Amino acid sequence: MTPLLELRAIRYTYATDTCRPGHPRPPALDGVDLQLRTHSRLAILGANGAGKSTLLLHLNGTLRPSSGELLLDGSRFDYSRRGLTTLRQHVGLVLQEPDDQLFAGTVRQDVSFGPLNLGLSEAEASARVEAALEAMDLTTLADLPPHQLSHGQRKRAAIAGALAMRPRLLVLDEPTAGLDPRGIDELAHQLDLLHARGIALVLTTHDIDFAHRWAREVAIVQEGRIVVQGAPDPILGDSRLMHTAGLRLPIALAIRQALAAETTARPVADAV
């Protein structure tokens, strides 16, 4: 089956990176291959500066790779104006900081920005806005200005803004950052609902426990490369790999491993 979105050998170096003369900065992405399918539910993990956010910004054409290619539904993406409009219709991006996205006077107006940019009529845009607000449980807050919302509510408003464009793939940069445990649970629930509606989800996070319980697939990014990608348990349970990537084991797996180690050690101890 053709992937919804595919990155092939993507390489990217920031032009404005500060570095010492004579010491060129290494690329932020260095030969990344990634396939995202219709039902993907992928968490991208990695230490700070590993290249997670840079990778996400390539998924909707915000950044253009120095080399490599992006394929949408199997077709090579050309970064033309029309192509970008189509790509961004299919791939919604939610930035880490909601204030980087919310600009309008009210939440409802902000959510309407994307649909109107797609050239929809006001009636159709309005219907999409109401659906997105309802999906993110924001109907009662729709007429408030963004600065009167809490951080968690602003995050939901930012997601609603992307959702109203009816993307097939929703990309979220650190969606759990700054949320309390209840906020994280609510977000996870809303992401579950979106996934059940057929939207593929990709997110980056530093919250290993959230990634472990939410994702069906995880990818570890290290120094601009995806070093491993696959089912969560074997990858997140590999303490050596996680240590090398600057990460830690999820608590559930750490406890499981500790119990297993104790069970293995006990007969020896008993024998002694």
Residues 6+ apart with CB under 8 A from 62: 93
Q: Check binding of 85 to other proteins (CB under 8 A).
A: yes
Q: Check binding of 17 to other proteins (CB under 8 A).
A: no
How far apart are the two ends of the chain, measured CA to CA in Å? 57
Kindly list the strands in the beta sheet with 225-230, ordered across the sheet, starting from the edge strand earlier in the chain.
91-94, 169-173, 200-204, 41-45, 217-222, 225-230
Residues that bind other proteins (rule: CB under 8 A) add up to a total of 42
Kindly list the strands in the beta sheet with 67-72, ordered across the sheet, starting from the edge strand earlier in the chain.
29-36, 5-12, 67-72, 75-76
Using CB under 8 A, which of the segments 70-78, 143-151, 222-230, 237-245 binds other proteins?
A: 143-151
Query: Which x/- pattern, by CB under 8 A, does the window 204-243 give for other proteins?
Result: ----------------------------------------
Token match 């290993």: residue?
208
Token match 């979105």: residue?
5
Q: Check binding of 186 to other proteins (CB under 8 A).
A: no
Strands 91-94 and 169-173: parallel
Q: Check binding of 74 to other proteins (CB under 8 A).
A: no
4, 5, 29, 93: which one binds other proteins (CB under 8 A): 93
Helices 151-163 and 122-135: angle between axes, nearest 10 degrees:
140
118, 188, 194, 254: which one binds other proteins (CB under 8 A): 118
Q: 144 or 241, CB closer to other proteins?
A: 144
Q: 112 or 205, CB closer to other proteins?
A: 112
Q: 103 or 230, CB closer to other proteins?
A: 103
72, 102, 132, 249: which one binds other proteins (CB under 8 A): 102
Measured CA to CA in angstroms, residue 259 lies from 239, 248, 250, 255, 269 at distances of 15, 17, 14, 6, 15
13, 66, 109, 229: which one binds other proteins (CB under 8 A): 109
Q: 35 or 106, CB closer to other proteins?
A: 106
CA–centroid distance for 171 within its chain = 4
Q: Which of residues 19-58 bind other proteins (CB under 8 A)?
A: 57
Give CA–CA dist 71/112, Å, rounded: 28
35, 71, 90, 104: which one binds other proteins (CB under 8 A): 104
Give CA–CA dist 219/230, Å, rounded: 7
Q: Which of 265, 222, 264, 269 is nearest to 242 (CA)?
A: 222
24, 145, 230, 234: which one binds other proteins (CB under 8 A): 145
Binding footprint of other proteins on the chain (CB under 8 A): 57, 60, 62, 84-85, 88-89, 92-93, 95, 97, 99-106, 108-110, 112-114, 116-118, 122, 125-126, 129, 143-148, 158, 161-162, 165
